[in-house]
Amino acid sequence: MTGNKAVAYKGPGKVELIDIDYPTFELKDGPGVNPANVGRQVRHGAIIKTVATNICGSDQHMVRGRTTAPTDLVLGHEITGEVVEVGPDVEFIKVGDICSVPFNIACGRCRNCKERKTGICLNVNPDRPGSAYGYVDMGGWVGGQANYVLVPYADWNLLKFPDKDRALEKIMDLAMLSDIFPTGFHGAVTAGVGPGSTVYIAGAGPVGLAAATSAQLLGAAVVIVGDLNADRLAQARSFGCETVDLSKGGPAEQIEQLLGVPEVDCGVDAVGFEAKGHGVGAQEAPATVLNSLMEVTAAGGALGIPGLYVTGDPGGVDEAAQKGSLSLSLGTGWAKSLSFTTGQCPVMKYNRQLMMAILHDKVHIAKNVNAKAIALEDAPKGYAEFDAGAATKFVLNPNGYLS
Ligand SMILES: NC(=O)c1ccc[n+]([C@@H]2O[C@H](COP(=O)([O-])OP(=O)(O)OC[C@H]3O[C@@H](n4cnc5c(N)ncnc54)[C@H](O)[C@@H]3O)[C@@H](O)[C@H]2O)c1
Ligand SMILES: [Zn+2]
Ligand SMILES: [Zn+2]
């Protein structure tokens, strides 16, 4: 039988490589699997040999012990791979296809999927709408930071790359289609970015840098990225963004120095609930980003909020935050008629178009996020360096495709 090594969560601050079963066309019981999903038949699924599988800031929330993720949960929702087996109900996807796997698991049959709201599919997670591989409260689908992974509803979920050789040439860019590139793009689109926009993006992690890349692709006049991490700000400047250093204080004054006004047309939260406050030695202050975006976004503007917010956080700064309640200055947002878009990015809404932009050299997302391939065995080191704030998007290479 084919072996399958995988990256598992082993308690706060710890991930390890473990041996797991090679997937079959059934969702078996295991850590984090919802009882109602146990034994679910996946005749519509495909087994993928991973070509690339990335570490994400969303994984870090779990690994830092900031969620209720169980020990031994197999991580990994950013998956690109080669199809090695298809279930009996798969019609169009074929063995040998190289595909991007949207991190949202979606059925293609429910009311929300029919409206392309694949981040809130109703049929894949008995806990709540929306699902993902290798994630707490997402139904228990096994993560893809492994040699092999099962993808349900393969005909619907998989985005096949048109040409295998060309795909492998651009694979580090295409590997960003499973999550951060569409997620950043969704952040920019829902913030209303278009030709000539001025944009402020909070967070210079991979999602913030992907949002900045997307804002440029959408024709923004000025893209400003804010963070407290100097290396990540330098990475944003490397592809033409302006930056604000939030360790020196809030964004409004620094935006005014750049634009002549303390306001932008569009605001993006690429940080989420583990946000720090502003200024020297700032501590965690989870409402900081949302409140400062409401302050700096011009009246009538919009906030794209890909940054993740939770309903339970054992490490929250106070009792309210532990239940996901934040002290928002909603009155500011209301008075300015701001719009908000939250939630999982519906990857399928954007991934094909962004794939075409990559294949035709219109965008260089891997360079902009500083994507770096590392061995599966080096995942613990990758997680630690990413957690320490490296200006790098780590891409695991479990089967040697990324040599
Ligand atoms: N909505 C979705 O579908 C989706 C998909 C992927 C990731 N996410 C979420 O997006 C967020 C970003 O992901 P990432 O991989 O870039 O994570 P990351 O942790 O690498 O980056 C977050 C960055 O925010 C910075 N930061 C902290 N406080 C700040 C503040 N007040 N203002 C500006 N920057 C601040 C940090 O220094 C860090 O560089 C995470 O919350 C992640 O869970 C959501
Ligand atoms: Zn992700
Ligand atoms: Zn659905």
Angle between the 180-190 and 351-359 helix axes, to the nearest 10 degrees? 110
- The pLDDT, as a whole number, for residue 309 is 95
Residues 184 and 145 in one domain: no
CA dihedral 129, 190, 325, 132 (to 10 degrees): 30
Rounded to the nearest angstrom, the distance between the alpha carbon of 304 and the centre of ligand 1 is 13
C-alpha span between 124 and 130 (Å, rounded): 7
Atom of ligand 1 nearest to the CA of 342: 1
Q: What is the CA radius of gyration of the chain?
A: 20
Atom of ligand 1 nearest to the CA of 285: 31
Of all protein residues, whose CA lies closest to atom 42 belonging to ligand 1? 58
Nearest to 20, CA basis, from 8, 36, 32: 8
Atom of ligand 1 nearest to the CA of 61: 43
Clarify whether residues 191 and 308 are in a common domain: yes
Distance (Å, whole) CA 170 – CA 212: 20
Q: Does 402 fall in a domain?
A: no
CATH of the domain at 15: 3.90.180.10
Please answer whether residues 154 and 44 qualify as being in contact, where contact means their C-beta atoms are separated by less than 8 angstroms: yes
Question: Do residue 254 and residue 150 come from a single domain?
Answer: no
Given this model, what pLDDT does residue 1 score? 66
Tell me what pLDDT residue 239 has: 98
Identify the nearest ligand to the CA of 183 by its number: 1
pLDDT at 371 (0 to 100): 98
Shared domain check, 94 and 187: no
159 and 34 within one domain: yes
Quote the CA–CA distance of 254 and 269 in Å, as a whole number.
17
Please give the angle made by the CA atoms of 304, 294 and 277, to the nearest 5 degrees. 95
Residue 390 located in a structural domain: yes
Whether 403 is in a domain gets the answer no
Question: How far lies 144's CA from each of 47, 73, 79, in Å?
Answer: 11, 11, 6
Domain assignment of residue 276, given as a range: 180-341
> Is the same domain home to 390 and 250?
no
Instruction: For residue 345, give the ligand 1 atom closest to its CA.
Output: 3
Q: Which residues line ligand 1 (CB under 6 A)?
A: 56-58, 60-61, 179, 183, 202-208, 226-229, 232, 246, 270-272, 275-276, 288-289, 306-308, 344-345
Question: Both 316 and 266 in a single domain?
Answer: yes
Instruction: Return the structure tokens found at 185.
Output: 């793009």
Instruction: Calculate ∠ Cα 117-123-129, nearest 5°.
Output: 55
34 and 175 fall within a common domain: yes
CA distance 251 to 275: 14
Mean pLDDT per 10-residue section of the chain, whose length is 403 residues:
93 97 97 96 98 97 94 98 98 98 98 98 97 96 98 98 96 98 98 98 98 98 98 98 98 98 98 96 96 98 97 92 95 98 98 98 98 98 98 98 91
The identity of residue 155, as a single letter, is: D
State the Cα–Cα distance between residues 9 and 16, nearest whole angstrom.
7
